Amino acid sequence: EVQLLESGGGLVRPGESLRLSCGASGFIFEAYAMSWVRQAPGKGLEWVSSISSDGFSTIFADSVKGRFTISRSTNTIYLQMNRLRGEDTAVYYCAKEEGSESSHSIHYWGQGTLVTVSS
Amino acid sequence: QSVLTQPPSASGTPGQRVTISCSGSSSNIGSKTVYWHQHVPGTAPKLLIYSNNQRPSGVPDRFSGSKSGTSASLAISGLQSADEAVYYCATWDDSLNGVVFGGGTKLTVL
């Protein structure tokens, strides 16, 4: 059974940094691309970033480009969030894609972790 | 303002059939496959339909997807109270070089 478990969310002040983690199990982690998707309060889903199965290819939404980075290690992906803004407040979901390259082929989702950016 | 346009709400009575639309453009739906996700607030979203009209194992055949040109649709037949959720379409956009979601459609079972 595919399981994705996010952690690292919390309350931070504008301008600060935070690193999210997503532990994965139940599948061959090295074979699949992974993504982060967020949902701001009262809003819909917004794709944030994706990383290929080998970790060499990463892509970002324009709203986070230059501030966020994505990486992966053994059975875990990370989202490093720098220079956080109020509009980054959201539940962040980790997601597993169906192929090795980043695309829109999300097949599994985690439960999410809440990030609140407020002074 | 989402790249993919969905109606904000839909409703139906138990047993009815409802359809949710998703409108895009040639840079997204017109050239890519469409996915549909179901999200009950407070829980993990769930994949309902992939590659326009394919159901993952475990998803009832009451759920079906279709695509024509730059639009896609999700149909739910035999509506049940458990179907109350927000439904999102998603695809890739070549112009934005990223994943795009619709704004979501909140389905209410009356």
| pLDDT tens-place string over residues A81-108 | 999 999 999 999 999 999 888 888 999 9
Query: Cβ(A37)–Cβ(A93) under 8 Å?
Result: yes
**Tens digit of each residue's pLDDT (9 = 90 or more) over B51-109:** 999 999 999 999 999 999 999 999 999 999 999 999 999 999 999 999 999 999 999 99
The whole-angstrom separation of Cα A75 and Cα B82 is 33
Instruction: Measure the N-to-C terminal CA separation of chain B; round to a whole number of Å.
Output: 28
- Candidates B2, B89, B99, B101, partner chain A, best to mutate (most A CBs within 10 A): B99
The whole-angstrom separation of Cα B38 and Cα B92 is 18
From chain A, which residues contact B within 8 Å (Cβ)? 35, 37, 44-47, 50, 59-62, 93, 98, 103-112
Beta bridge partners of A37: A47, A93
Distance from CA of B52 to the nearest CA of A (A): 11
> Is the pLDDT at A56 greater than 90, yes or no?
yes
pLDDT at residue A100 in the model: 87
